[in-house]
Amino acid sequence: MVTKAQKEEQLRAKVLKVAQQLFQQYGLQKVTMDDVARAIGKGKSTLYYYYKSKEEIFDAVVEHEIKDMLAHLRTALAQADTASAKLETFVLTKLRIMRQKVALYNLLYEDITRHYVQEFSERIRQHYLQTEVLMIKEILQLGVDTAEFKGITDLNLDQVAFVLTSGISGIEQHTLLSEQFGPAEENVKLLSRILVQGLKR
Amino acid sequence: MVTKAQKEEQLRAKVLKVAQQLFQQYGLQKVTMDDVARAIGKGKSTLYYYYKSKEEIFDAVVEHEIKDMLAHLRTALAQADTASAKLETFVLTKLRIMRQKVALYNLLYEDITRHYVQEFSERIRQHYLQTEVLMIKEILQLGVDTAEFKGITDLNLDQVAFVLTSGISGIEQHTLLSEQFGPAEENVKLLSRILVQGLKR
DNA sequence: TTTCGACCAAAAAAGTTTTATGGTCTAAAA
DNA sequence: TTTTAGACCATAAAACTTTTTTGGTCGAAA
């Protein structure tokens, strides 16, 4: 027997699931609340019983995608032993997942940054940046703890993590846009290798 | 006595100079051919005697700015002795010049990428990228030649140069937008230091 | 408590009119 | 012969108006 609270939670989850599918099918900006309501067989105002606003639904979908991406990253990182292996795994896995999301949502690479900056809320962007910087920081901390990264023991790991995060995303952006200097995978691996060497000293 | 050809060249140069000043004063998109013509005291169709189109004038102004920026970079690099000193000088000087241009043209940092991608011609963007990659490659070549950079002797320097260029510009973009992880100068120096350590191995 | 049709206000889209602008032409001036 | 510019064209952009869409609310019914 399903409780009232469970039924409500099921409907809330269904709204997000359906919204996500519609976003993928029609694009992030084309989907209306009416679309979502029809797709789950309810009236539009019903959505406002379960969610405060369209933005709340949109943010929840985005957060779910990000959480999914971060989960994949953590799973992949868990299978790498050393800090340097983890850094390489990080850049490659992130690139792979980005390609998948781009294909799934039928986006152009050019549009990723525009969507990210203009439509994702500041809170989500901040949270994502903080989380990514934190993942890199954990890798760096492991490198310091295992004496693999001797070159940064005197540095602020938050700042180092941020610098690496930014550099990596610069590579992602440039090489996804144009692979005239070789495949994106090779480029991010090369950066990872140089960075690792730099961290080890 | 000034020859006809010299007079023509003077007028061509004056058109560019005035166009540049107007772009700085009113923004890259607001200036009309009529504006430029009035500012040099001629009729609009006169401009078309000296230039093929507005785009040709715009491109010439942009190319002049880029040439100016690259000249400053080269001057600064010439004063650094070692490859690692040159890399650090490169990232710091580039950052400084970008701040100057942003102030001069009254731009927002957010708009730099948008202008660069949407308004600068593909040819100019390609040329600029190639030139920047080449400058970095020369630094890397010097590092290899002086045995300062032992870690990349087996690599394709074009690709390494591109990877560094992209990573550096990722840092520039992120830290110019938000200095929550410390001043942009510190961040680019930190990246430079880590990269240099990585290149040395 | 949950649902929804009717409704509202504002935004977005579509359509129309007016103005601006890149560019050309041809004749006049130098 | 070279340089210049006013008039003009076609298109784009801007401004304005009308229509449609959409996020969100309300109150009543289930």
Q: Where are the domains of chain B?
A: 1-51, 61-200
Helices (H), chain A: 4-26, 33-39, 44-50, 54-78, 83-104, 109-118, 122-145, 157-177, 184-200
Residues of B whose CB is below 8 A from A130: none
Q: Out of A155, A182, A198, whose CB is closest to B198?
A: A198
Residues of B whose CB is below 8 A from A182: 156, 159, 162
- Tokens of residue A166, six digits: 């930014």
Q: With beta carbons less than 8 A apart as the criterion, state whether A134 and B129 touch.
A: no
CB contact under 8 A, A194 and B195: yes
Amino acid found at A175: T
Assess whether pLDDT exceeds 70 at residue A65.
yes
Predicted confidence band at A1 (pLDDT cuts at 50, 70, 90)?
low
Min Cα separation A34/chain B (Å): 33
d(CA B102, CA B112): 8
Bases of strand D lying below 7 A from some protein CB: 2-7, 21-27
A34 CA to C15 C1' distance (Å): 26
Q: For B29, phi and psi rounded to 5 degrees? A: -110, -10
Q: Taking all residues of chain A, what is their mean pLDDT, rounded to a whole number?
A: 89
Half-sphere exposure of residue B43, counting CA atoms within 13 Å on the CB side?
A: 3
Nucleotide whose C1' lies closest to the alpha carbon of residue B54: C22
A45 touches strand C (CB under 7 A): yes
Mutate to test the interface with A, among B109, B126, B194, B201 (most CBs of A within 10 A): B194
CB contact under 8 A, B201 and A200: yes
Neighbouring residues of A60: CB distance < 8 A, sequence distance ≥ 6 = A16, A51
Assess whether pLDDT exceeds 60 at residue B195.
yes
Q: What is the mean pLDDT of residues B175-185?
A: 83
- Tokens of residue B91, six digits: 């990232």
d(CA A133, CA B180): 12
Q: Kindly report which listed range (A72-86, B52-66, B131-145) carries the lowest average pLDDT score.
A: B52-66
Q: What is the mean pLDDT of residues B99-127?
A: 82
Assess whether pLDDT exceeds 90 at residue B122.
no
Dihedral, A171, A173, A175, A178 alpha carbons, nearest 10 = -150
- Tokens of residue B148, six digits: 């300062």
Nucleotide whose C1' lies closest to the alpha carbon of residue B43: D5
Mutate to test the interface with A, among B115, B185, B197, B200 (most CBs of A within 10 A): B197
Residue A136's pLDDT is what? 96
d(CA B18, CA A79): 61
Q: Does domain A59-200 fall into CATH 1.10.357.10?
A: yes
Predicted confidence band at A122 (pLDDT cuts at 50, 70, 90)?
confident
A66 CA to D9 C1' distance (Å): 54
A4 touches strand C (CB under 7 A): yes
B155 touches chain A (CB under 8 A): yes
Q: What single-letter DSSP state applies at residue A100?
A: H
CATH topology for the B61-200 domain: Tetracycline Repressor; domain 2 (1.10.357)
Q: With beta carbons less than 8 A apart as the criterion, state whether B116 and B107 touch.
A: no
Amino acid found at A180: Q
C-alpha angle B157/B159/B165, rounded to 5°?
A: 100
Residue B200's pLDDT is what? 84
CATH superfamily of B1-51: Homeodomain-like (1.10.10.60)
Q: Which residue does chain A place closest to B172, by CA atoms?
A: A166
Residue B109's pLDDT is what? 77
Of A163, A160, A167, A126, nearest to A141 by C-alpha is A160
- Tokens of residue B200, six digits: 């040395």
A134 touches chain B (CB under 8 A): no
B134 touches chain A (CB under 8 A): no
Amino acid found at A18: V
Of A131, A187, A189, nearest to A161 by C-alpha is A131
Q: What single-letter DSSP state applies at residue A160?
A: H
Neighbouring residues of A72: CB distance < 8 A, sequence distance ≥ 6 = A93, A97
Percent of chain A with pLDDT over 90: 57
Residue A155's pLDDT is what? 87
Q: Kindly report which listed range (A110-119, A157-166, B134-143) carries the lowest average pLDDT score.
A: A110-119
CB contact under 8 A, B170 and A175: no
DSSP state letters, A29-81: TT--HHHHHHHTTS-HHHHHHH-S-HHHHHHHHHHHHHHHHHHHHHHHHHT--
d(CA A26, CA A61): 14
d(CA B73, CA A149): 32
d(CA A51, CA A39): 16
Nucleotide whose C1' lies closest to the alpha carbon of residue A43: C4
Predicted confidence band at B108 (pLDDT cuts at 50, 70, 90)?
confident
CB contact under 8 A, B163 and A171: yes
Q: Say how many C-beta atoms besides its own lie within 10 A of residue B48's C-beta.
A: 14
A24 CA to C2 C1' distance (Å): 29
Assess whether pLDDT exceeds 70 at residue B2.
no
Of B133, B139, B138, nearest to B168 by C-alpha is B133
What is the ipTM score, two decimals? 0.85
